[in-house]
């Protein structure tokens, strides 16, 4: 089942949407990479897609405002 989970990272709230289990360390890593790539700088009308690798697992990540959709690819 797909869940929308509030997640606090660096004193900012994000909504994580994920179907599979994911570790807290992977979530923190993914959000750090997204911040480094400027994913949250501009709030656009479209969903931007990113690819993030953590511990040899590739994730496809969609960012829409503060919503982060994560799929293990």
Taking only the tens place, the pLDDT of each residue in 16-31 is 999 888 999 999 999 9
How many domains are contained in the chain?
1
Query: In this predicted structure, what is the pLDDT of residue 1?
Result: 65
Longest dimension (CA), the chain: 31
Per the document, the length of the chain is: 73
Query: In this predicted structure, what is the pLDDT of residue 73?
Result: 83
In this prediction, residue 40 has a pLDDT band, given cuts at 50, 70 and 90, of confident
How far, in Å, are 2, 20, 30, 48, 49 from residue 37 at the CA level? 26, 24, 11, 11, 11
| pTM for this model (two decimals) | 0.88
Which of these, 13, 10, 15, 8, lies nearest to 70 by C-alpha position?
A: 15
Q: Which domain holds residue 66?
A: 3-72
DSSP summary character for residue 51: E
Each residue of 4-16: pLDDT tens digit?
Answer: 899 999 999 999 9
């Amino acid at each position: 089942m797909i869940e929308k989970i509030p997640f606090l990272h660096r004193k900012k709230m994000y909504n994580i949407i994920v179907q599979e289990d994911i570790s807290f360390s992977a979530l923190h890593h993914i959000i750090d990479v997204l911040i480094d790539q400027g994913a949250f700088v501009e709030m656009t009308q479209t969903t931007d897609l990113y690819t993030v690798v953590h511990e040899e697992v590739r994730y496809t990540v969609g960012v829409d405002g503060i919503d982060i959709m994560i799929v293990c690819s």
